[in-house]
Structure 1
Amino acid sequence: MKSLNKLVLLFSFIFITLSLFSQQRDSYFLHTVEKGQNIYSISSMYGVNQEDIIKLNPGSEKTIYTGQTLKIPQALTSHMKETFHTIAPGETLYRLTITYNVPAKTITDANPGLSAENFKAGEVIRIPIEEDTPETILKEDKVEETEKPKCKDMHKVKRKETIFSISRKYNLTENELIVANPEIKKGLKKGTWLCIPYSSAEKETETFIVDVQRTPPSNLELFNQNKEAPHRISTIKTAIILPFMLDGGHKQEALRMVEYYEGFLIAVDSLKRRGANIELHVFDSKNDANTIQQILNKKELKEMDVIFGPLHQQNVKLLADFSKQHNIRLVVPFTSKDDEVFNNPSIYQINTPQSYLYSEVFEHFTRQFPNANLIVLETTDGKDQYKREFIEGLSVMAKKNSFPIKTVNIDNIEQSLPTVESLIKTDKTNLFIPASGSDAALNKVIPLLQLIKGKQIEAPMHLFGYPEWQTYTSDRLQDFFDLDTYFYSSFYTNNLLPAAKNFINGYHKWYKKEMINTYPKYGMLGFDTGFYFLHGLATYGTDLENNLERIDLTPIQTGFKFDRVSNWGGFVNKKVFFVRFTNNYELIKLDFD
């Protein structure tokens, strides 16, 4: 009877093992689309071709939607160093350590965004495959016998227990226990879970029996054990690596980088006055990869807590790889067109990637205008700034929310006026949206809308546009007020607000000059990014990532709302404002969070 029970247990374990590995043996795993994701970002996240995703998901080349489940191809080869796993209902971290034959710490280290709280069905996690992981389990559909996992049991250390007493309890040598748990060389800690390995004699056994009666450690216990305890940072070691072009070069670019640094210095000074200790290292990268590599070779760079830079996309990977290797936060203040954030947990991308930006804009749009009528105005002028992806997303949003949407070419204002006028609906909020963000397009749009406004049609009407309109404000201010204009942006400042006035006065006092008239203003960007991260590190230390929403900051220009793109990736800034110029000459910044 005992032999029969053992046989039943053995086959039960094999069945469970095969079930848990089924998604890895298959050619794909499942991904649930999140807000702001598109096929490109998902393919970058998993390191697969867009075409391969589309093959498994017909129709996804046209559109995907939040909450949709996609099949993601996963090739299993003998050279594979990692696999992706979609957590199944009822699955636990402990079970995954047995299934994949890897320690819990290996899984938690590979997924910095994973916690006991968000360990739930549907989450995708990255699992490194160790070199000695049995490939037969991964590759074969049928398993004749099961390889032993490294741990036959888990033991929770009790008060006064020693390595010797635990070894004797499980018929192990002290060395066998230490080899399975190298960290105990520094001493045992009450409450810690230890891996109980098979003894030398047991390793010779062909099969093994799982103790189904033992209560395994919970997710919370394993996460608490394997996540490093946060600590304060006494001196925040900070590096700025930007192309200041001190030896000449692109003058305008250099001036913008200098202004960013000047704003950053004001933030450092402000924080030091509050008691923060900051050690600042500044390097001129000269926009040259060789120079950046020379900077990274400096001994002190490995000791940084945070690095700010670079300017250009082509240099991000060099800094990103270094930051990931040495576990240093990398704040990328400028480019939004780099993919490193999808697979590097150290990166903070300030400038929102377009798909995430538009997703936030459309969500805020439907909240602000729940009864919208959309009229898209096309012109030949400004084709170089045509907002194709935005207009396509606008059409999808309109369809989803049953908003009427029409597109009209207005190159000839007189001929197009009757058509545009006929599209206005008195029972809806009418939004006129240029298809281009250029000032040249506004040269056609504004006269047309002024003519319509002069007809005194009894219907709510607004002009709606783009972040770059901030640079046209000095010339278009009256028109923007007349047309009750909105535009969206991740960067915006009202120079009349106290925080902005104080910064501008401080900048004048320090540098005896005006900031460059650009969008965004680089001095303000330097202040906001410097203050946000350095204040966060001074307040929360190494636990910054769990307290991003708690950082106390009134930004001058830049809003911050960071979300991790995946359990193993970095952070993107999803903060978006709407700015409104009302008919009553009010300037309102709408913050939806």
Structure 2
Amino acid sequence: MNKIIASFLGIFLFTVISVNAQGYKSHTVQKGETIESIAKKYNIEPYDIYKFNPGAQKGIHENSVLIIPSKSIQPKATGSDSESVTFVEHKVKRKETLFGISQEYKVAIEDIKKYNPELYSRELDKGEKIKIPIIKNKPVQETPIKKIDSSKTQKLKPYVVQKSEGLFRVATNHGITVEALKELNPNMKASLQLGDTLWVPVVEAEQEVIANEYDFYTVKPAEGFFSIEKNSGYTQEVIERLNPEVKLTGLKPGMVLKLPRKKTDSLPFFHNFIKASHTNLVDSIRLHDVSMALVLPFKAGELTVDSVPQLVKKLRSDKVLNISLDIYSGVLKAVDSLKNLGVNVHLKVLDSQGDEYVIDQLTSKGEFNGVQAIIGPLYTKNFNKLASNVMFDSIPLFAPLSNKNLKDYSNIFSTVPNDNDLSDALLSYVKKRESNYHVIIFADEEHTVSKNKLKALFPNATVASKETFTVKGIDALLSKTQRNLVFAETNHVPTLTNITNILNTLATESLHVQLATTNKTDAFDSDAVRNEYLNKLHFLYPTIDKPSSLNLPFAKSYYEQYQKYPSKFAVRGFDLTMDTALRLAQGEPLSKNTLFIGETAYIENKFHYIKQPYGNYFNNAVYVVMYKDMEIVEAP
């Protein structure tokens, strides 16, 4: 079955290729144009277009308008006409800076930015690949990329792998990357075993940390030593001793610190202090082999057509099959990633055919014997049926896309937060900052409940009616001294278009106006609601998944393999598989370790499961995001 589904995935992904503010251009899509052809026309990458037009990942059509980042058009390098330019690809290492790279290749920082325009607006990301311009008339010293920091490494030594250690932990313990560890040990197995011997760098004594003796802590924005000591119990002296780079750079948001592991009789990694940020399950892996099943409605029996063109037509027209294949492709990428972390996932792929009778057949044949967790099926009836079938075997099921009408069985994990969780997350965010806002509420008749909830939470808010929404009427309601937060609770595209147009007209540098909603409907994605306006209004809303950069290593790797960027379903398949497998790898039943594990986060999705009394588990982890600089980012 796995081979059959994989072949359909290959044909699908090979043939069905995925076909705003200052300094940007607009482009009206012409008949027959694709994202790739438009990108080529403007001398940019497809991910540049997707980044500034999030809705384009769902497809584009004739006469739709795209925002083109004109700053991404590559200018000629500075210098004389006789200078010719070639490029060297450079993979960014941890803590590397543009200054250091410019010194290594003897080129100006400005020249690097010109050919990597996204670096004008953000910092370097570890692992990303950038183009280094090499001007032939200028002296260039090509320095090989160092895999190991020679300032910390004098020689190599043999190291015996300890119990429950994976590639990531061994590499991190010795101050190198997994890639560098593999280079030092070309014959190393994909999955480390107790007693394996590896070559590792000898690190200075004060930087050596005994394996299994520390945890990781991620520094949060504006967090200082006092706050970390309060959360973890470790002083600045201890932190600096284990993390000597802190003495030079100070604490930085996102910095990962080593902290001594506290002794405990419960799960070794999950201390209360780590819940203050995202739990890192990689560092507490105890099992290196886990068994999972993926059950989706591939309906392989319906794909027996006479020719590839007929098959492609079927693949293009079947929405559920497309979603299933996208999820499957993300699951496969996760399995590969987990292997690099030292976790082997024994994955069984099963076709539910969207039929409850087939679910019973699969169960009676023993297909789920020995399986530790199941992702799917998609359809709620099939999902509930399978949950019932395997409930007495205590096999947990993860509902990948829906939280509707799920049974209260104790082995069900609802992975999608509900509407109340979304709304509450946004309202909690705003309530904490209430003193900064003058709140205005607009809600049509279909959203009376939302309006009443907002009025109760913000009793001093101004309620605007449909008749009020004229330039003159709204101008009279806006505060001239405070930041205005306007809630728009509507599914009606013409109404929403009118609201955004008026607010965009009134918003200036001195008159701050922000748009928000507790429920982002498809109306906000309509072509009539302009992205430029949402960006100018710093549109604020809750979501179960945040858009990720197409410049991330995952997106680039996915594109290289499948010739298309990952859809949200592919990313969800990846994130859910990573999270489920790593939870299993903790070595405790999910019903037990869920009580210890805090919030986990991956590429676009995060998970925090709560057990309902006498019921199932539900995920209440929600992002609050906003438009900023033509991108969607987490709200600060």
2:514 maps to 462
Residue 588 (1) aligns with residue 630 (2): no
Q: Which residue of 1 aligns with 2:464?
A: 407
Pair 1:524 & 2:571 matched: yes
Shift of 1:532: 0.6
| Equivalent residues of 1:307, 1:331 under 8 A apart | yes
**8 Å contact from structure 1 (residues 372, 404) kept in 2:** no
Amino acid at match of 1:312: Y
Separation in 2 of the partners of 1:444 and 1:510? Answer: 43
Largest Rg, 1 or 2: 1
Question: How far apart in 1 are the matches of 2:492 and 2:617?
Answer: 30
Q: Secondary structure at the match of 2:589?
A: helix
Q: Which runs of 5+ in 2 are unaligned?
A: 1-284, 304-313
Separation of aligned partners in 2, 1:542 and 1:508:
35
Aligned residue type for 1:399: A
Q: Is the 8 A contact 2:293 2:348 kept in 1?
A: yes
1:535/1:551 contact within 8 Å kept: no
Q: 1:573 aligns with which of 597, 609, 619?
A: 619
Q: Which range moved further: 522-531 or 550-559?
A: 550-559
Shift of 1:561: 1.9
Could you say what secondary structure the match of 1:236 adopts?
Answer: strand
The residue identity in structure 2 corresponding to 1:338 is N
What SS does the aligned partner of 2:603 have? coil
Q: Distance in 2 between matches of 1:431 and 1:484?
A: 10
Cα deviation digits, residues 338-357 of structure 1 (max 9, x gap): 242xx322111111122333
Question: What is the deviation of 1:285?
Answer: 1.3
Distance 1:326 1:473 in 2: 49
The one-letter code of the counterpart of 1:375 is: I
Contact kept in structure 1, 2:442 and 2:451, CA below 8 Å:
no
Deviation at 1:464, TM superposition (A): 0.9
Unaligned runs of 5+ in 1: 1-230
Identity %, equivalent residues: 20
Cα deviation 1:216-238 (Å, max 9, x = unaligned) = xxxxxxxxxxxxxxx96563221
Q: Which amino acid aligns with 2:621?
A: K
1:480 corresponds, among 534, 537, 559, to: 534
Deviation at 1:485, TM superposition (A): 1.6
Q: Do the aligned residues in 2 keep the contact of 1:240 with 1:307 (CA within 8 Å)?
A: yes
The change in CA–CA distance for 1:255 and 1:574 in structure 2 (over 3 A counts) is same
Question: Does the residue aligned with 1:303 lie in a helix, a strand or coil?
Answer: coil
1:243–1:311 CA contact under 8 A, matched in 2:
yes
**Contact map agreement 2:594 2:609 (CA 8 A) in 1:** no
Cα deviation, residue 337, structure 1: 1.2
Q: 1:241 aligns with which of 289, 295, 301?
A: 295
- Residue type at the aligned position of 1:275: G
Q: CA RMSD in A?
A: 3.3
Secondary structure at the counterpart of residue 564 of structure 2? coil
Query: 1:536 touches 1:544 (CA, 8 Å); kept in 2?
Result: no
Q: What corresponds to 2:554 in structure 1?
A: 503
Question: Equivalents in 1 of 2:535, 2:412: separation in Å?
Answer: 39
CA distance in 2, matches of 1:525, 1:439: 28
Aligned in 2, Cα 1:235/1:489: closer, same or farther, shift over 3 Å?
Answer: same
Q: Does 1:514 align with 2:565?
A: yes
**Tell me, what secondary structure is at the counterpart of 2:367?**
helix
Q: Indicate the residue corresponding to 1:376 in structure 2.
A: 441
The alpha-carbon distance between structure 1 residues 450 and 549, as it changes in their structure 2 partners (threshold 3 A), is farther
Equivalent position amino acid for 2:455 in 1: A
Distance (Å, rounded) in 1 between the aligned partners of 2:533 and 2:410: 45
Alignment of 1:53-202 (within 5 A): none
2:426 alignment partner in structure 1: 361
TM-score normalised per structure 2: 0.48
Output aligned runs, 1:268-283, within 5 Å: 268-283=335-350
The one-letter code sitting in structure 1 at the alignment partner of 2:634 is K
Counterpart contact for 2:541–2:624, Cα < 8 Å: yes
Match among 376, 392, 398 for residue 455 of structure 2: 398
Cα deviation for residue 513 of structure 1 reads 2.6
Residue pair 1:312, 1:334 contacting (<8 A) in 2 also: no
Q: TM-score, normalization: structure 1?
A: 0.52
| 1:563–1:440 CA distance, 2 compared to 1 (3 A) | farther
Counterpart of 1:588, as a letter, is: V
1:267 is the counterpart of 2:334: yes
- After superposition, the C-alpha distances for 1:426-480 in whole angstroms (9 at most, x for unaligned) are 3544222222246554322221212222xx4954320113445685699733212
Q: How many residues align?
A: 339
2:381 to 304, 314, 328: 314
Give the whole-Å Cα distance in 2 for the aligned partners of 1:585 and 1:257.
Answer: 31
Contact kept, 8 Å, 2:601 with 2:607, in 1: the verdict is no
Shift of the alpha carbon at 1:253? 1.4
Distance change >3 Å, CA 542–CA 460, structure 1 → 2: same
State the alpha-carbon separation in 1 of the partners of residues 587 and 526 from structure 2.
40
CA distance in 2, matches of 1:242, 1:474: 35
Distance 1:549 1:588 in 2: 29
Note if 1:559 corresponds to 2:611.
Answer: no
Shift in CA distance, 396/330, structure 1 to aligned 2, threshold 3 Å? same
Give secondary structure in 2 for the equivalent of 1:324.
helix
